[in-house]
Amino acid sequence: MAEERKSNDEEFSFVKEKIKKQPFYQTRRFRQLCYWLLVAALCGAVACFVFVKLQPFMERALGKEEKTEITIPRDDEPDEVTQEPTGETVVITEPQELELADYQKLYTKLKAVAGEVNKSLVTVTAASSDTDWFNETYESRREISGLLVGNNGVELLILTPYEPVKDASKLQVTFVDGKSQDAVLKNYDRVTDMAIVSVNLAAVDEGTMEVVKIADLGSSKSVKAGDSVIAVGSPAGFAGSLKFGNLVAPGHKTSVIDGEYRLLITDMERSDGGTGVLVNLDGQVIGLIEDTYLHASNERALTAYAISDMKAVIEHLSNSQDLVYMGIKGSQVTAEIAESQGIPTGVYVSDVEPDSPALNGGLQAGDVIIEISGKAVASVTEIQEMLLKFSKDQVIQVKVMRQGKEEYKEIACSVKLDVLK
């Protein structure tokens, strides 16, 4: 029987199967693993791309992005140029008579310059609530021009007059493309009546950011009488108005608390409530329109603060730094004045503001300031520059010459600086 079984096994040995294990890379499980690895890699790549693109937005939205400090370069005084005589004959040509088409081309070019400047301008709407005679509450709105002066990585910073926005319950900024965003009052200076309002960058439309630009602040120190200028913003008292003219008195100065500022007086007529900027023909801002100053010889002349004198103030306001004050008004006592009037050189104090740090520190009208914190003082401008380096509640030593019965005597005053509210 055993031999028969063995014989049968040998007879059918050719039908025996030899089962081999299938390689793993050919299995369904391997294909599924490759599929999910590919899906994971694609998802990871998409996630990285989205994270990189959204990181700046999320940082702004969560307030984690660091602010960069705003820096505005100062302007140097222009060098005096003396032209040596060349001996050449100067040919004076007769002025050409312009046709209507020439004027049209001229105004087209001027409007093109103003159009570029408008990208740096916004309309600030200040809304405030009030009560009428019948005790009914109503909302009043005022529109003024604002100037884009900085982008600190978190906010757009806009320079605007302080008085219209100081009591506003709501501020809104409208950009050149017509889109609006809410704004907040960031900082202000009562002396110059300037303020900075800010708009959160995360809220500004990407298309708007591609259109607007930070203003190009030029130099007002090299301007001359007769220079052509353009008034842009709201010089006529309403948004989008435009005026063309010339400078007639670019060197006039006005006295303010603890200093003085140069004014650019034009041959254009001022308008009540007019705001905006003066720009040169290169589109650079050279002045900030000031609607409260009235020139003695022409009260209707459109006037602007010279931008070179305001750059330090704008920088401080943009960086949320306090602008401290003493509270005096004065004028420079030159060597010539000192000799003719018999008073010391320095800064003559013509007035001391009520309840000011200067008054509380013992300064009086008639004093001549000769030194602040160990540094000699020769002009009001020097006092302005010194105060920019001090901070609120800082005590400074002010030396003055005060007239006695027979002669001037040196008096030391301790002045605790404050911010004008």
pLDDT tens-digit series, residues 54-109:
555 555 555 456 789 999 988 887 755 444 555 566 566 666 777 888 888 888 99
Choice among 86-90, 237-241, 398-402 with the minimum mean pLDDT: 86-90
| Domain coordinates in residue numbering, the chain | 228-307, 324-419
Q: Which residue has the higher pLDDT, 9 or 349?
A: 349
Q: Report the 3 state secondary structure along the chain.
A: CHHHHHHHHHHCHHHCCCCCCCCHHHCHHHHHHHHHHHHHHHHHHHHHHHHHHHHHHHHHHHCCCCCCCCCCCCCCCCCCCCCCCCCCCCCCCCCCCCCHHHHHHHHHHHHHHHHHHHCCEEEEEEEEEEECCCCCEEEEEEEEEEEEEEECCCEEEEEEECCCCCCCCEEEEECCCCCEEEEEEEEEECCCCEEEEEEEHHHCCHHHHHHCCCCCECCCCCCCCCCEEEEEEECCCCCCEEEEEEEEEEEEEEEECCEEEEEEEEEEECCCCCEEEEECCCCCEEEEEECCCCCCCCCCEEEEEEHHHHHHHHHHHHCCCCCEECCEEEEEECHHHHHHHCCCCEEEEEEECCCCHHHHCCCCCCCEEEEECCEECCCHHHHHHHHCCCCCCCEEEEEEEEECCCCEEEEEEEEECEECC
* 228-307 classified as CATH 3.40.50.300: no
Question: Which CATH number among 3.40.50.150, 1.10.3720.10, 3.30.70.260, 2.30.42.10 corresponds to the domain 324-419?
Answer: 2.30.42.10
The confidence band for 295, taking pLDDT boundaries of 50, 70 and 90, is low
Q: Do domains 228-307 and 324-419 have the same CATH topology?
A: no
pTM for the whole structure: 0.80
